[in-house]
Amino acid sequence: MRIGALEGGGTKMVLAVCNENGEVLDRKSIPTEHPSVTMPAMIEYFKEQKVEALGIGFFGPIQLNKAAENYGCVTSTPKPGWTGQPVVGPFQETLGIPVAFDTDVNAAALGEATWGASKGYENSVYITVGTGIGAGVITNGKLLHGMQHPEAGHMLLQRHPDDTYEGKCPFHSHCMESLAAGPAIEARWGKKAYDLADRKEVWELEAYYIAQGLVNMIMTLSPEKIILGGGVMHQTHVMALIREEVKKQINGYFDTPQIRDIDNYIVLPQLNDNQGIMGCVKLALNELDGK
């Protein structure tokens, strides 16, 4: 079967065709421009590729409630032209195939849970630390939606007493994204994140914030596996600091096998940056199965 996968980001759209095992048969990436340019280009690609179903993981916030009038649309975004933009509708109307829709991070969480690091676990969290911070949550084997969808990157954190940086999020001065996403690191320290690799204080502070976010998620969602992806995690040395800080902040409250074996509890993705695309495939398969 030819399944279309669309990982829609604020910077680029990754378009792919896969089989039902998530194996990538074709792939291309186009810049995210105004929807009047980008939507027709994406529709054309999937038409040419003769896909039989399509799974979409898209940057949010998006409307996932099928009963809502604006189901399948982007709701609000600073990205020019995309506020209110229908995404599902135009694909369904032009391709006439089943279309599944979820957030980009939920798709990544599902990809890893189906074929990657959290395979076999009913409860897991996938967090991306990149231009923004987002989390996809799987609870009792299902993606968590609810009122809208989790926006865990905007959970409020306790500021480090020595941190005077005002924060990057226009809504919250001290949410996780505001203090710890890539652009916040770069604005606070005045350099590209990859040029700060050997500055110990940069990554200790980063670990302090990421760990707070993880501890909050551990306490509220009780995940059995936590996956940390995104551009900032290319600094793989920060992983050890995050694990150490999580243990420190939990402060002995839990004594579970997962916390004791934290190196296998908080892990990097396993799908080589294909987790989003592969998760879109699984979204499409679920839609076909009526799940």
Residues that bind Zn ion (CB under 5 A): 154, 169, 171-172, 175
Provide the minimum distance between the beta carbon of 190 and ligand ADP in the complex, in angstroms, as a whole number.
13
The residues, ordered by sequence, that sit 6+ positions from 171 with a Cβ below 8 Å of its Cβ are 154
Provide the minimum distance between the beta carbon of 237 and ligand ADP in the complex, in angstroms, as a whole number.
10
Question: Measured from the CB atom, is 18 or 232 closer to ligand ADP?
Answer: 232
Provide the minimum distance between the beta carbon of 141 and ligand ADP in the complex, in angstroms, as a whole number.
27
Q: Rounded CA gap, 285 and 47, in Å?
A: 19
Kindly report the backbone phi and psi dihedral angles of residue 282, in degrees, each rounded to the nearest multiple of 5, phi listed first: -65, -35
Is the alpha carbon torsion for 37, 83, 179, 249 positive or negative? negative
Number of H helices, E strands in the chain: 9, 10
CB neighbourhood size of 262 (10 A): 17
Q: Which does 223 bind (CB under 5 to 8 A by kind): ligand ADP, Zn ion, none?
A: none
Q: Which does 9 bind (CB under 5 to 8 A by kind): Zn ion, ligand ADP, none?
A: ligand ADP
Tokens 């009047």 sit at which residue?
36
Q: Report, in angstroms and rounded to the nearest whole number, the Rg of the chain calculated over CA atoms.
A: 19
Helix (H) or strand (E) holding 39, with range, is helix 35-48
Provide the minimum distance between the beta carbon of 228 and ligand ADP in the complex, in angstroms, as a whole number.
11
Q: Which residues bind ligand ADP (CB under 6 A)?
A: 9, 11, 128, 130-132, 182-183, 186, 193-194, 230-232, 234-235
Q: Which does 172 bind (CB under 5 to 8 A by kind): Zn ion, ligand ADP, none?
A: Zn ion
Question: Measured from the CB atom, is 95 or 271 closer to ligand ADP?
Answer: 271
Q: Which does 234 bind (CB under 5 to 8 A by kind): ligand ADP, Zn ion, none?
A: ligand ADP
Q: Which does 131 bind (CB under 5 to 8 A by kind): ligand ADP, Zn ion, none?
A: ligand ADP
Strands (E), 9-139: 12-18, 24-31, 53-58, 99-103, 124-129, 133-139
Provide the minimum distance between the beta carbon of 96 and ligand ADP in the complex, in angstroms, as a whole number.
30
Question: Which of left, alpha, beta for 117 (phi over 0: left; psi -120 to 50: alpha)?
Answer: alpha
Q: Which does 231 bind (CB under 5 to 8 A by kind): Zn ion, ligand ADP, none?
A: ligand ADP
Provide the minimum distance between the beta carbon of 52 and Zn ion in the complex, in angstroms, as a whole number.
39
Question: Measured from the CB atom, is 97 or 168 closer to ligand ADP?
Answer: 168
